[in-house]
Amino acid sequence: LEDYKGYFIVFNESFVQSYKVLLELFDFLNHEPFIDLSESEEHVPLRLIELIEEQQDMKSQCYQQSLIAALLHFLVEKKKSSLRPMDINQERFVKLRNLIAEHYKEEKQVLFYAKKMDLSVKRLDVIAKLVSPLSVTELIHKQILLQAKRELSLGLKTVNSIAFDLE
């Protein structure tokens, strides 16, 4: 390990949800939680992070968001190029998570997601539990809770209006 150097980038869940490209990065579930960069590649993310920090001081949010997007796309593409193909259950789980992220406000029943994926409710639940420790219902509830936390942190809505919107 002495021959290695590395950096940690930590994302909270609401940040990951707000940058959809990160979902793609973290959907590669059974793979190593790192991205291996050559010495010639490591300057790219480091420079982007420096620029993001500089923009934070200047309060230029639009440019900063573009830099964050560039960093995330770089990381996703690097990770994609190093991964083994996902098995069918992992692919289905990724599709399920994307469907939940898209429809959780209107559709809270597992049957809806099972039909969208041409699977039985039982089979979809088995797949979810094979890939993650959560059932499909728990994944839906987790998405709803995450959205509620995100909206509460923004402080633009009351608790009652958030609850009503997510009901």
Segment 58-85, tens digit of pLDDT: 766 778 778 888 888 888 788 777 766 7
Please spell the DSSP secondary structure of the chain, one letter per residue. Answer: -TT---------HHHHHHSHHHHHHHT-TTS-S-----TTTTHHHHHHHHHHHHHHHHT-HHHHHHHHHHHHHHHHHHHHHHPPPPPHHHHHHHHHHHHHHHHTTT---HHHHHHHTT--HHHHHHHHHHHSSS-HHHHHHHHHHHHHHHHHHHTSS-HHHHHHHH-
Q: Write out pLDDT tens, residues 14-44.
A: 776 676 666 666 655 445 567 778 888 888 9
